[in-house]
Amino acid sequence: MASTVDQVTEPVAEHGEGPVWAPEWPGVRWVDMLAGDVLELDGGEVRRHHVGAVAAALRPGAGGGVVLALERGFALTDAALTDVRPLGEVWADAGVRMNEGGCDPDGRFYCGSMAYDATPGAAGLYRLDPDGTVTTVLTGVTISNGLAWSPDGGTAYYVDTPTGRIDAFDYAAAAGLTDRRPAVTIPAEVGSPDGLTVDAEGNLWVALWGGGAVHCYTPAGELVTRAELPVTQVTACTFGGADLSELYVTTSRLGVEKGTQPEAGGLFRLRPGVRGLPAHRFSGC
């Protein structure tokens, strides 16, 4: 079972999302998505970097830079997040924004979208190649969320939140994501699947929006761990720390009644007794 959950920061984010760890950074980074800010934990201090109208996701680059997903497109920036260079809009519809993403084992960055009003089927999943080419990977998505790969890189796990599932794809560099099938079905009464990560043993750790917890499942869909948080809107998780033994969990204040859940929007951490995998890096920066 997972260890006790500790609160690491004050409620610094309105809508915390997308944590990621890179050893060269001062600490874990995550986004306050609708504020357009990347947050960075350095010891006990939280630094805030404004990068755009929306900051949906980020990943470290193989060359020391950082790749970002902004409101309707991608951007590159330096390690210090001071020189943001947008790559252009992927779509023009102002009612749809980027939401969550990650890199594949071959150094390409993906981010999925959602309509601001969560219109069913209005969103997609997009891939940014190192040469700047953008490819539409999935259409008909509603709320694109977690995306992570198995330790051997041959399976990708993906969440479109309203489905109540984590789906698996076969993955290869040339073919991309193929053979989509359900991997984990999450009962509606325990929450909705949001961001996810995979540990070194191949198990899936998923944040439960509205469920106040992180669940760990085997690839076969068996629930093996439940870690409860003191807030309902749990958004995403990632392994970090020097030996990748700490699970960082982001939370949100969206949908939380004012004056309740004072910890909502804080960053939390647990030590679940397993290690994570290093974040895949974007090869184009």
Beta bridge partners of 63: none
Single-letter amino acid, residue 68 = L
What the block records as the tokens of 109 is 């960055």
Q: What is the CA radius of gyration of the chain?
A: 17
Nearest to 235 by CA among 2, 13, 7, 50: 13
| 161 phi and psi angles, rounded to 5 deg | -50, -45
What the block records as the tokens of 27 is 């600490």
57, burial (CB in 10 Å: exposed 0-12, middle 13-18, buried 19+): buried
Single-letter amino acid, residue 46 = V
Residues designated catalytic = 194
CA atoms within 13 A on the CB side of 260: 8
Q: What share of the chain is helix, strand, coil (3-state, %, to 5)?
A: 5, 50, 45
Q: Report how far apart, in Å, the C-alpha atoms of 257 and of each of 14, 56, 193, 231, 254 are.
A: 13, 24, 21, 11, 9
What the block records as the tokens of 128 is 């940014």
CA atoms within 13 A on the CB side of 136: 9
Q: Helix or strand or coil: residue 163? A: helix
Helix-then-strand count for the chain, H and E? 0, 24
Residues with Cβ within 8 Å of residue 174, at least 6 apart in sequence: none
